[in-house]
Chain A
Amino acid sequence: MIALVVYAHPVPDSFCSVVRDRVVGSLIAAGHEVDLMDLYAEGFDPRLPVEEHALHLSGLETKPAIAGHARRLSAAEALVLVYPTWWGSQPAILKGWFDRIWVEGVAYTLPEGEDRIKPLLRNVRRLVVVTTHGSPKWVNALQGEPGKRVVLRGLRSLCHPRARSRWIALYGIDRSDEEQRNRFLDRVASITARL
């Protein structure tokens, strides 16, 4: 499978980067083709610009700035998001990737005269999230896990109708020890190996 790994962390040697390397390594070892999209390294600007907002119902040909990312997303058969959870959800740079790339002509289309959108990412059959939380699980539960449904219900609804999704989270990373982190890395590797 072609796996698009979208990664969002500003610090090159963070724990999140170790997670990313395990994900990529285990996908390659399992024979998948990996496209790594490192949003910080690419200098991706997550702010939806005024001209893209004005063209939100127009096709992809009107938005040359996102053509590269759109092509890579459209080619993906598996989508893996690797990021730290901040404020209960995706970091701004990744939230803005949804805002700018998951748009008309890429992720869905609204056919002329109809009022229901049609999914366009039907080739995406696997959706995996690997995320680390600073706070313990009960805090995230109290906040209502704001970042979870946007992926598992929102993004997933535009993928293949029977796309399988996995959510792999490490809570309380600020208080975790090396053994817990290693266990998490092993879990990440074994799940992504059986994609």
Chain B
Amino acid sequence: MRALVIHAHPSPESFNRAVFNTAVAALRSAGHDVEALDLYEEGFDARMSREEHLAYHSEHPIVSPDIARHVELVSTAEMLVFVYPTWWFGLPAVLKGWLERVLVPGVGFVLDAETRKVRPHLLGVQRIVGISTYGATWRYTKFFNDAGRRILVRALRLGCTGRARVTWLAMYRLDTSTSEQRTAFLVRVERKLSAL
């Protein structure tokens, strides 16, 4: 499968980066065609610009060349993999901005001109994989809604792919975890992703 792996953590030394590297290697070893996007390293700007917002509902909503490249990658992907830390119970701004700027009408979904209904447009995507590290416990994360997971599993999956399957891998309480727990999580990621 063609897999697009999207990573959003500022630190090259972070555990999240190790998870990202593990995920990419596991998918490659399983024979998938992997494209990896490191949003911080690319210097991706999270802010939808005025021009982009004005063009959003037009025939040509993509106004910058770096976005056009991301659009091409996402449009040909059969698997979308997100590796990110959960901050404030949601996606890091850089990843939230990636959804806003790249998955515009005509890419992620189409908006029916008459009924204004949303129809999925990423019909090639068969699976969405979310891998997130959380500072909080599972219970806390649920209480605050896990907005990042809901955005990817509901808004993205239902709105853009229609019926992609979901694999979710979460590591809670990262800040107080032991190195054995972190290693065990990497092994879990490795195993799960090489079996996809």
Contact = CB atoms under 8 A, between A and B. Distances in A.
Interface of A: 9-12, 14, 40, 45-50, 53-54, 86-93, 95-96, 98-99, 102, 135, 139, 142-150, 153-154, 174-175
Given A46-B97, A47-B93, 8 more contacts: A88-B151, A90-B96, A96-B94, A135-B118, A144-B150, A145-B145, A146-B154, A154-B88
In the complex, the 6 A-B pairs of residues with the closest C-beta atoms, listed nearest first: A96-B93, A92-B97, A146-B147, A46-B93, A149-B145, A50-B10
Contacts of B10: 47-50, 53
A14 B53 CA distance: 10
Contacts of A98: 87-88
13 contacts: A11-B50, A47-B92, A87-B96, A89-B96, A91-B48, A91-B97, A95-B90, A98-B88, A143-B150, A143-B155, A146-B145, A146-B154, A150-B145
Interface in B124-153: 143-145, 147-148, 150-151
Interface residues of B, number: 37
A113 B128 CA distance: 40
Contacts of B47: 10, 40, 45-46, 92-93
B40 interface: yes
A174 B116 contact: yes
A89 B90 contact: yes
B89 interface: yes
A144 B92 contact: no
B144 A153 contact: yes
A92 B147 contact: no
A54 B13 CA distance: 10
A135 B11 CA distance: 36
